[in-house]
Amino acid sequence: MSAVYALRHNVFVVEQGVPEEIEVDEDDMVATHLAAVSDGHVIGTLRILLHGRTAKIGRMAVSASSRTEGIGRELMESAATTASSRGAEEIILGAQLTAYGFYKRLGYMEEGAVFDDGGTPHVMMRKKLQL
């Protein structure tokens, strides 16, 4: 987990300027964390929070040097499989507008208005899981 938090810190706090004090929160204690590991290094991560039949994915991050190689897609597909095996029927997430196209390609649909989270514009997106 320390490597997961280090990657998140690099991506969200250092690269994107998200305030350090909100990057790790109490949801991390109960979330399921996925990590993509290459040569012993964590190069990607996300977390899953289960709320009844709805899973929420967050903190999706791939290290800058490993982007556009399919790591993010693989993590999202693993998250959907994990969520489904735990009874989830759908996934929701708050997408940064700069990552909107990434989630759209994976079948997520936007809903509602753009909102601010940590100083970055986001939009909610949702996808029904195949049961």
Minimum Å gap between C-beta 120 and ligand COA is: 8
3-state helix, strand, coil in the chain (%, to 5): 35, 40, 25
Between the alpha carbon of residue 94 and those of residues 38, 47, 81, 106, 128, the distances in Å are: 27, 12, 19, 14, 15
Tell me: does residue 17 bind ligand COA (CB under 6 A): no
Stretch that binds ligand COA, among 23-31, 47-55, 82-90, 95-103 (CB under 6 A): 95-103
CB atoms within 10 A of CB 110: 15
Q: Which residue has the tokens 């996300």?
A: 46
Residue placing its CB nearer to ligand COA in the complex, 47 or 88: 47
Tell me: does residue 87 bind ligand COA (CB under 6 A): no
Tell me: does residue 69 bind ligand COA (CB under 6 A): yes
Residue placing its CB nearer to ligand COA in the complex, 28 or 69: 69
Q: Which of 102, 123, 125, 127 binds ligand COA (CB under 6 A)?
A: 102
Minimum Å gap between C-beta 85 and ligand COA is: 22
Which tokens sit at 131? 């049961």
CB contact set of 87 (below 8 Å; sequence gap of 6+):
50, 53
Q: Which of 17, 101, 119, 121 binds ligand COA (CB under 6 A)?
A: 101
Interaction site with ligand COA (CB under 6 A): 11, 60-62, 67-73, 95-96, 98-99, 101-102, 105
